[in-house]
Structure 1
Amino acid sequence: MARRNRNNILAGDEVLVPGTIVLLDPRHVLSRHAKNNSDIVLVPTPSDDPEDPLNWAPLRKTLALSCMLLYVFAVGVETAVLTSILVPFSIFSTISIPDLINGNGYSYLLAGWGLLFWQPFALQYGKRLTYLATFAGVTAINIWMAYCRSNTPWIIVNVLSGFFAATVEALPENTIVDLYFTHERGSLLALYALALIGGSTVGGVIAGFICDALGPEWVFFIPTIFGGGVWIFMLFFMEETNYNREATGMVQNVVDSELVQDTLVASTLPTSKKEHVEQAVTPTVVGSVEYKPKTFFQKLSLVSNQKRGNFWFIAWNQVRFATWPVVLFSGFMYGLNLVWTVVFGFTSSTILSAPPYNFSASMVGLTGLAALVGIFASVLTSGKLNDIIMLRLVKRNDGVYEPEMRLWLFSIAVLLIPASIILWGVGAAHGIPWMGLMTASALLAFANTLSVPLSVNYVIDSYRDMAGAALTVVIIIRNTMYFAISYGISPWIEGMGMQNAYILCAFIALITTASFLIMVKWGKEIRQKSAVKYWALRKESIDRGVVH
C-alpha cells in the first residue's frame, strides 16, 4: 500500500468518506473524549480556546440554546396564527380563503429561497445580528398583516414575512452544530423540532380564542407583543456562536494514512498493532495563540470577527449543493413532513367549521392541543431513542459512525403517517367522532416531530463543515414543495373528493417515506462519490476563513 501523510483523522481529506467518523474509541487511541463517557470521541474536535462555543460552560450553552429555541417558537407562533381562523379572517378582510392560502404559500416559498441571502449574511456578519434583524422584521410585518383588505397587499406582506422568517428554517440547526458535538445532537435537534412545530401549533390554538374574544386583527397583535418581549431577551442574552476553529492554536493528530483503516477500528486491534497506532498518533501544536475571555459587552457585539469579502463565495457554495444526492434526499424527506402537515392544516378549519362538527374559531384552534400531545410525546421519546439506537449501531460497527445509522427511526414514520392521513381524510368524509380526527392529528404530529431531526441531522452529519450551505438547499426544496401543495390541495380535494384524495395521499406517503431504505443501503457509496468535491470545497472554505 502506498504511504501518504494526512492531517487529523477527524478532519479528513479526499481519501475519507464525508460523514464517516470515529465516534467510539474504547482503547483511547484518540485524544479528545466526552467527559460523561470516556469512550465517545468529541466530533468536531474542540480548540483550546475557552471562547470556542464547544468549550463553553453548560449554563452558557443552555442560555444560548434557550435564546435560539425562544426565537424559533416565537416566529412559529407569529407566522402560524392564520390556519385556525381562515373563515372569520376571510370575512373580516374580504380576502377569499383560496387567496389567503395562496398568500401563505408565497410566505413559505420565500422562507426557503430567502436563505440564499440570510445564510451567507449570518456566516459573514454573525448569527446574533441575523437573529435580531430578522426577528424584528417578522414582528413588524405581522402588524401589517392585520390591515390587509385585498389580495395584492396580502401577497406582498406574505412575501416579506417569508423573507424575514427564512432564518428559522436553517440557522438554528447551525447554532446547534456550533455548540454541541455529534453524539449530543439527536436530542437537541428534537428540541428544535419541538420549538418549530410547537410554535406553529400554539399559534393556531391561541388564534381561535383571540379571534372570538377580541376580533381577527388582534390575532396578529397579541403574538407581536410576545415576540417583542422575546426580542428584548435575546438582545441582552444571545451570544454570537460563529467561530473559526481552524484558525486557532489547536492540537491536531498527525496520522500515517497506511494506518487509517486500523485507527478507524482501533477498538479491535491486537496490542502490538495498537502500540503501532499510538506511536503514529502524536500531538502537534499548530500556532501559538493567547486566549482572552470576552467581556459582557464584547459578548453582546452585533458584529462577528469573521473574515469579510466572502458573502458571494458563501452564497455560491449553497448553489453548488443543489445537485448532491444526500442533500436532495434530505430536502425531499423534510418537504414531505411539511406537505402532510399542510394537507391537515389547511383543511382543518373548513372540515371542523362545517357539519357535523360545527366548531367555532376558538374550538378549531383548540384542536391543535391534540397535535401538541403528539409533539411532546415524540420529543420525550424520539430524541433519546435516536441517540441510543445510533450508539448501539456504532458499537456494532467497531466504533465507526455512519450518518445512515440515524435513518432507521424513519420506520416509525412509515407506519404512522399513512395511518394518520387515512384516519383524518376518510374519517372526515364519513363524519366520524371528532376524537378520531384528533387522534389522527396527534399521530401525524408525533411522526413529523420524529422525522424533522432525522432529515436535518443526515445532511449535517454527512457534510458537517459545510452544513450551512447544504441546509439552504434542503429548506428551499422543503418550502417549494409546501408552495406547490398549498396551491394544489384545494382543487385536488374538490376534484377527487375527500376520501379518494386522502387515500391517494396515504399511499404516496407510504412509498415516499419508505425511500429512506435506499439511503440506508447505498448512502455511504453515494457520499463516497462526493468525497473529492467535498474535501476540495472544504479546503477552499478554510483558506477563506468561512468554516467554523
Structure 2
Amino acid sequence: MVKARSTQFDIEKPVHSRDEAKSNLSDSSHSPELTPEHQQYLISRHGTVKLDPIPSQDPNDPLNWPQWQKNYEILNITFSTFSSTFMASGMNSAFEPLAKQYNSTLTDASYFTSVQIAIFGIFPFLWVPLMNTWGRKPFLVMGALGCCACNIGGGFAKTYGQQMATRALSAFFIATATSAGSSVVGDLAFAHERGRKNGWWSVGFVAGTPMGSFITGFIQYHAGTKWIFFTYAIMNFCQCLGWVFSRETIYSRNSPDDVKFRMFRVSKARPFAWSIFVRPFHQALNGNILLAVLAASITFCYANIVLSVEMPQVMIPLFHLNPQQMSLQYISMIIGSAIGEILAGPLSDWWMAQSVKRRLGHRVVVDRLWVSYNGYILVIVGLIVWGVCLAQATPGHWTIKPLVGIAIAATGNNIVATVVTTFAIDCNPRQAGDVGIFLNFWRSLYGFIGPFYFPKMFENLGIGGSAGLMCGLVVLFAWAPTCIAHGLGIYREKRQVM
C-alpha cells in the first residue's frame, strides 16, 4: 500500500489576488503548527505557506528580506569566492617572469598557486566556525583588508621566500570567504532556489580560475608583474566596501531576540565550543555527501586545475607564446564556465520542480543528480578532444582545436560542481556551512596535490595518454559514485512508499 506523501515541499507561484490568498490559507493544513497570523504573514510576504524552510514572522529573518537584499549578499560572496581563485590562478601568466626574477624553475613558480589552493581548503575549518559564532561580517571585512595588505606586499617582494609568504598569508585571509558561499545561500534561499543561488558562487569559484589567468596575462605584458599584485589589492578593497554595506545573515529562529551580533560578541543562541572545529568532518558519516564531495573534487581537479595550471607549462614551449598570447587561451575556459552555469543552476531547479510535480508534491533530493550526468559526459569528451588535439599539434603552429576541448570540459565541470554541491547541501540543509567546509577541504586538498604529479604524468604518458588517464579517473571516482548515490536514493524512496 502506498503511503500518503507530504506536500510540504511543493512549489507554488506567488499569490496575487485576495481569493487566491484565501484559498492558499485554507489549504495550509500541511503546516498545522503555524498560527493563522503566521500563515497570513507568509502569504502576504511570499504568496504561499508552502516553503522550505518555514521563515518566522520577523522581518529581520534573512528569509524575509527583500529579494534585492538577498541578491546583494549572495553577489558579495560570489565576488569574494571569484576573487580567491582569480588571485591564485592569476599567477599562472606570471610563472615565467617570476621564475626568472627569483632564479627558479617554472615548476617552482607553480607552487605560488598550489599553496594557495591548499590554504583555501584548510583554513575555512578555522574561519567558518568562528564566523558562525560571532557573525560573518566582521571576519569578511577583516579578511578582505588583510588580503589587501598582503597583495601590496607581494608587489614589493624581492625573494622567492618573501613572495611565497605573501601568497600564503593572502590565501589565509581570503579563506574567510572561500567556504562561506553555501552558508550564506542556506541563510537566504528556500529549497527551490538553492540550485540557482548556489550556482552563483559556484560559477564564481570555478570561473575565477580562467579569468585570473586571462586578465593577468595582459597586465603582465603591458605593466609588469608588480601590477598583478596591485590589481589584487584593488579587488580586495572593493570586497571590503561591499561587506561594509552588507547585513549579517546569521539568524536563529528559535531565539530571534538573542541573535543581535556585534563586533566579536558571543551570542547565546550560537555558543562557542571547541567541537565546532571538527564538526564538519562529521559530514563524512553521510554517504550521499561523501560521494558528492568525491565527485566534485575529481572533476574540479581534472577539468579545471590541470587545464589552468598546466596550460602555460604545456602551451608556452609548444607554441612559443608570450604572456598576453597565453592569457588569450583562457577565453575558452571562461566561455565554457558561462555556458555551464546557464545549463546548471536554473536547469537543475527547473528539473527539481518538475520532479516534485511528477511525485505529487514529494521532494526527493537525488532527482537533481540526473542533470549532473550531462556534465560528466562533457568533461570526458572535452578532455579527450584537448589531449588528442594537443598531442597532434605541430610545434610552433598554434591551433584552436585544443581550446575547443577545454571549453567543453569547463562546461561540464561547472554543471557537475553546481549540481553535486547543491545536492550535498540538500542532504543536510541545516548544516549547510559544515557541508561547504567539508566539500571545499577535499576539493582544495586534491587540487593542491595535483601540480606535484602533473608534470611527471605528462612526461611519462604524454598529453594524449594523460587525458585518457584523467577520463578514467573521472569515470571511476566521480561518475560512478554519483550513480551509486543516485541508485541508493531511488531504492530507499521505493522502499518508503511500499
TM-score range, shorter chain: 0.7 to 0.9
Structure 2 residue 480 is matched with structure 1 residue 517: no
Q: 1:322 to 1:141 in 2, by over 3 A?
A: farther
**What is the distance in 1 between the residues matched to 2:370 and 2:241?**
41
Structure 2 residue 109 is matched with structure 1 residue 143: no
Q: Residues 256-310 of structure 1, C-alpha deviation per residue, up to 9 Å, x if partnerless?
A: xxxxxxxxxxxxxxxxxxxxxxxxxxxxxxxxx7x9xx9xxx99x5456632642
Structure 2 residue 389 is matched with structure 1 residue 427: yes
Structure 2 residue 468 is matched with structure 1 residue 503: yes
**What is the distance in 1 between the residues matched to 2:430 and 2:328?**
42
1:41-52 equivalent positions in 2, closer than 5 A: 41-52=50-61
Aligned to 1:269: none
How much has 1:453 moved relative to structure 2?
A: 1.7
Return the letter of the residue paired with 2:138. Answer: L
Return the letter of the residue paired with 2:399. Answer: W
Aligned to 2:203: 194
Q: 1:322 to 1:34 in 2, by over 3 A?
A: farther
2:10 to 23, 47, 69: 23
Provide structure 2 residue ranges, at least 5 long, that are not aligned to the other structure: 13-23, 32-38
**What is the distance in 2 between the residues matched to 1:327 and 1:34?**
34
Q: 1:218 to 1:94 in 2, by over 3 A?
A: farther
Return the letter of the residue paired with 2:483. Answer: L
Aligned to 1:409: 371
Aligned to 1:169: 178
Q: Residues 435-483 of structure 1, C-alpha deviation per residue, up to 9 Å, x if partnerless?
A: 2122112112211221222222122111111221232221111111112
Aligned to 1:542: none
Aligned to 1:16: none
Return the letter of the residue paired with 1:518. Answer: I
Aligned to 2:443: 478
Is the 2:151–2:230 Cα contact (8 Å) retained in structure 1?
yes
Structure 2 residue 337 is matched with structure 1 residue 350: no
Structure 2 residue 211 is matched with structure 1 residue 224: no
Is the 2:356–2:362 Cα contact (8 Å) retained in structure 1?
yes
* Paired-residue identity, %: 21
**What is the distance in 1 between the residues matched to 2:168 and 2:246?**
27
Return the letter of the residue paired with 1:77. Answer: F
1:20-419 equivalent positions in 2, closer than 5 A: 22-24=9-11, 28-31=28-31, 41-235=50-244, 237-248=245-256, 302-303=263-264, 306-307=267-268, 309-340=271-302, 341-355=304-318, 357-419=319-381
Is the 2:369–2:486 Cα contact (8 Å) retained in structure 1?
yes
Is the 1:124–1:311 Cα contact (8 Å) retained in structure 2?
no
SS of 2:407 mapped into structure 1: helix
**What is the distance in 1 between the residues matched to 2:217 and 2:440?**
29
Q: Tell me the TM-score normalised to structure 1 length.
A: 0.78
Is the 2:89–2:309 Cα contact (8 Å) retained in structure 1?
no
Q: 1:365 to 1:188 in 2, by over 3 A?
A: same
How much has 1:68 moved relative to structure 2?
A: 2.2
How much has 1:34 moved relative to structure 2?
A: 7.5
How much has 1:525 moved relative to structure 2?
A: 7.0
Q: Which has the higher mean CA deviation after the structures are superposed, 501-510 or 143-152?
A: 143-152
**What is the distance in 1 between the residues matched to 2:97 and 2:234?**
22
Aligned to 1:544: none
Q: 1:94 to 1:524 in 2, by over 3 A?
A: farther
**What is the distance in 1 between the residues matched to 2:80 and 2:167?**
19
SS of 2:267 mapped into structure 1: coil
Aligned to 1:538: none
Aligned to 1:465: 430
Return the letter of the residue paired with 1:347. Answer: E
**What is the distance in 2 between the residues matched to 1:205 and 1:233?**
24
Aligned to 2:15: none
Return the letter of the residue paired with 2:388. Answer: V
Q: 1:471 to 1:62 in 2, by over 3 A?
A: closer
How much has 1:64 moved relative to structure 2?
A: 2.0
How much has 1:205 moved relative to structure 2?
A: 1.0
Q: Tell me the TM-score normalised to structure 2 length.
A: 0.85
Return the letter of the residue paired with 1:221. Answer: F
- Which of 1 and 2 has higher RCO (CA within 8 Å, sep 6+)? 1
How much has 1:424 moved relative to structure 2?
A: 1.3
**What is the distance in 1 between the residues matched to 2:392 and 2:331?**
23
**What is the distance in 2 between the residues matched to 1:405 and 1:66?**
27
How much has 1:75 moved relative to structure 2?
A: 3.1
Q: 1:458 to 1:431 in 2, by over 3 A?
A: same
How much has 1:55 moved relative to structure 2?
A: 0.4
Is the 1:212–1:361 Cα contact (8 Å) retained in structure 2?
yes
SS of 2:343 mapped into structure 1: helix
How much has 1:398 moved relative to structure 2?
A: 2.1
Aligned to 1:4: none
1:489-500 equivalent positions in 2, closer than 5 A: 489-500=454-465
Is the 2:102–2:160 Cα contact (8 Å) retained in structure 1?
no
Give me the CA root mean square deviation: 2.9
Which of the two has greater helix per residue? Answer: 2
Aligned to 2:421: 456
How much has 1:149 moved relative to structure 2?
A: 4.8
Is the 1:69–1:195 Cα contact (8 Å) retained in structure 2?
yes
SS of 2:346 mapped into structure 1: helix
SS of 1:399 mapped into structure 2: coil
How much has 1:385 moved relative to structure 2?
A: 1.1
Is the 1:404–1:523 Cα contact (8 Å) retained in structure 2?
yes
Q: 1:92 to 1:401 in 2, by over 3 A?
A: same
SS of 2:378 mapped into structure 1: helix
**What is the distance in 1 between the residues matched to 2:471 and 2:158?**
37
**What is the distance in 1 between the residues matched to 2:9 and 2:490?**
15
Is the 2:82–2:205 Cα contact (8 Å) retained in structure 1?
yes
Aligned to 2:21: none
Q: 1:240 to 1:526 in 2, by over 3 A?
A: farther
How much has 1:92 moved relative to structure 2?
A: 2.4
SS of 2:393 mapped into structure 1: coil
Is the 2:151–2:170 Cα contact (8 Å) retained in structure 1?
yes
Is the 1:413–1:513 Cα contact (8 Å) retained in structure 2?
no
Q: Residues 387-436 of structure 1, C-alpha deviation per residue, up to 9 Å, x if partnerless?
A: 11111111122211122111111111121111111111221111175321
Return the letter of the residue paired with 1:508. Answer: L
**What is the distance in 1 between the residues matched to 2:9 and 2:208?**
36
Is the 2:280–2:438 Cα contact (8 Å) retained in structure 1?
yes
Return the letter of the residue paired with 2:29. Answer: V
